Chain A
Amino acid sequence: MADAPADGDARFGRDRTLRIKSPLPLDSGLQLSPLDIAYETYGALNANRSNAVLICHALTMDQYVASDHPVTGKPGWWLGMVGPGKPIDTDRFFVICANVLGSCMGTTGPRSINPASGRPWGMSFPVITIADMVRAEIALLDALQIERLFAAVGGSMGGMRVLELAAAHPERLGNAIVIASAARHTAQNIAFHEVGRQAIMADPNWNGGNYYDGEPPSKGLAVARMAAHITYLSEEGLTAKFGRKLQDRDAVSFGFDADFQIESYLRHQGIRFVERFDANSYLYITRAMDYFDMAASRGGRLADAFAGTTTRFCLVSFTSDWLYPTAETRSIVHALNAVGAPVSFVEIDSPHGHDAFLLDAPEMDAVIAGFLAAGRTS
């Protein structure tokens, strides 16, 4: 690959950050500047720059899709999917994964410094949308001089960005993979997010979002994570894993310790989460997801979002995912069929709920590998 432009390009590799020079226009009418985007790349960009795959991460994930997390030290969150010989094969594809707009792992978000005040944005950070996040990702692609993606892949909120990218920039996307996702947030989705936000805001340490000089609202954020984590699992999965088993004791304590294993597990999930995530980012990103409704922002008809598209689509849902159930994916398939788009869809049998897409799922791997293998990188 001596002619590959990737060789020696300082923009490519692990732990990169680019500053986007021009202000980012937002759906709210405001503009965001400056904009830093933190990202990682894996594999080599080919000579005609046609093998790029953008991975869009979910709400609380980050750019460390296939490398160790700098804070937790844990391995990449999608190692089973991304790597040499994996379904998203880094021997074939140039993989890009960027920390999403509003997050807290290097991309501009509420924890970043507002140059006007010299202090963190906090709640003066503009409210952002899924479309704004896609604009930021497009700005990164422009900076990397990638005209057209071979594919964009995302689960959960990442799937929302793939759909938005396909709708807003069909000419820049060859193949779209949308996993365990939806084209809108339902009342139930919004309700769970609101519980999380209220938990954060009820923590005295939150202080109107102005906590970067002191103690962060860790208790509120941990409760938010606990509530959300339940929505990522299934009753079937919880019963199989925990049932009514007690935690390090033979009988209930007639108190409010974590008697049950499930309580201990959720508390642990909450504590681990606050080590690596910013509470204000959680507020902003959940808000963006709640505002997401692709049909409403296009005259009420989802199919109109995809009229004339030449992008190939592959959608995957899971039987036990009640956060973004199969019916939501089917409505996207319906819309894509209505405009004659090339679409594949499969519902995979899994007891693991929404989180199934992050776990070992050989059928999902086979579908994604097969779908990508059939696409041509020319």
Chain B
Amino acid sequence: MTLRPDLAAIIGFVAPGARVIDVGCGDGELLEALRDTRAVDGRGIELSRSGVLQAVARGLSVVQGDADTDLVDYPNAAFDVAILSQALQAMHAPRAVLEQLLRIAARAVVSFPNFGHWRVRVALLAKGRMPVTRTLPIAWHETQNIHLCTIHDFEALVADVGADIETARFFAGGKVIGPAFANARAEQAVYLLRRRN
């Protein structure tokens, strides 16, 4: 099984045997890979019933729930790593969710589509319409992405909530790219954040 490069990057950020929670874990593909390759003690939260059903059928410990409201139920530092993969932009309160991730885990891995990518900028500039691109394929009125941000926006939020960026990976065209001008060149970003104590 070949994982998407952003998921492979996330796995690279997780130490073997870590206690992990995947927030918005979908059908459990990433958690399963983490269990099988990193032997993590994994948990998941997923909003969709179909996602939970598939994840539990994979033998994963996943609960049906809403990241916007249910993360408060977890105790402080319950996990080593909290993962929010491609879901930040769908949260009602991204800042509160980020703060919760860094409360329940020492480290957070957050990936998101970069709204600062040049194709997005060109689409908006040239057509004057909300962009529909490879990483943002759904029209504005149908997408679940209600809080899109750029890489610069995200880094500002991280500073704002008092967390440190340990490292980051950037992707374009399904390949890893360097960090230079990432805010214009990257379609996807994956950040490893650490709670400042």
On whether the beta carbons of A370 and B59 are closer than 8 Å, the reply is yes
Q: How far is the CA of A7 from the CA of B79 in the complex (A)?
A: 46
The residues of B that contact A371 with a CB separation of less than 8 Å are 56-57, 59
On whether the beta carbons of A345 and B63 are closer than 8 Å, the reply is yes
On whether the beta carbons of B62 and A370 are closer than 8 Å, the reply is no
The residues of B that contact A342 with a CB separation of less than 8 Å are 41, 43, 61
Q: How far is the CA of A347 from the CA of B63 in the complex (A)?
A: 9
Q: Mark A354-371, 1 if CB is under 8 A from B, else 0.
A: 000000000100110111
B137 at the interface (CB under 8 A from A): no
B193 at the interface (CB under 8 A from A): no
On whether the beta carbons of B61 and A338 are closer than 8 Å, the reply is no
On whether the beta carbons of B62 and A344 are closer than 8 Å, the reply is yes
On whether the beta carbons of A373 and B78 are closer than 8 Å, the reply is no
Closest Cβ of chain A: how far from B35's Cβ, in Å? 10
Residue in A334, A366, A369 whose beta carbon sits within 8 Å of that of B73 in the complex: A334
The residues of A that contact B60 with a CB separation of less than 8 Å are 344, 374
Q: How far is the CA of A348 from the CA of B48 in the complex (A)?
A: 11
B165 at the interface (CB under 8 A from A): no
Residue of A nearest to B104 (CB): A337
Q: Using a Cβ–Cβ cut-off of 8 Å, how many residues does chain A contribute to the interface with B?
A: 24
Interface centre among A314, A334, A375 (most CB of B within 10 A): A334
On whether the beta carbons of B61 and A343 are closer than 8 Å, the reply is yes
Residue in B53, B59, B61, B65 whose beta carbon sits within 8 Å of that of A366 in the complex: B53
Q: How far is the CA of A90 from the CA of B49 in the complex (A)?
A: 28
On whether the beta carbons of A346 and B52 are closer than 8 Å, the reply is yes
Q: Mark B31-66, 1 if CB is under 8 A from A, else 0.
A: 000000000010100000100110111111111110
Residue in A340, A345, A366 whose beta carbon sits within 8 Å of that of B78 in the complex: A340
Residue of A nearest to B52 (CB): A346
Q: How far is the CA of A346 from the CA of B52 in the complex (A)?
A: 7
Judged by DSSP, the binding face of B is mixed
On whether the beta carbons of B73 and A337 are closer than 8 Å, the reply is yes
B173 at the interface (CB under 8 A from A): no
Closest Cβ of chain A: how far from B34's Cβ, in Å? 14
Interface residues in A78-92 by Cβ distance below 8 A to B read none
A333 at the interface (CB under 8 A from B): yes
Residue of B nearest to A345 (CB): B63
Residue of A nearest to B73 (CB): A334
Residue in B19, B52, B58 whose beta carbon sits within 8 Å of that of A374 in the complex: B58
The residues of B that contact A314 with a CB separation of less than 8 Å are 56
B75 at the interface (CB under 8 A from A): yes
The residues of B that contact A373 with a CB separation of less than 8 Å are 57, 59
Q: How far is the CA of A375 from the CA of B43 in the complex (A)?
A: 15
Closest Cβ of chain A: how far from B104's Cβ, in Å? 10
Closest Cβ of chain B: how far from A336's Cβ, in Å? 9
Told that A342-B61, A343-B63 touch, could you supply 9 new A-B pairs with CB distance under 8 A? A343-B61, A345-B52, A346-B49, A346-B52, A346-B53, A347-B49, A348-B49, A369-B57, A370-B53
Listed in ascending order, the chain A residues whose CB lies under 8 Å from chain B are 312, 314, 333-334, 337-338, 340, 342-349, 363, 366-367, 369-371, 373-375
Listed in ascending order, the chain B residues whose CB lies under 8 Å from chain A are 19, 41, 43, 49, 52-53, 55-65, 73-75, 78
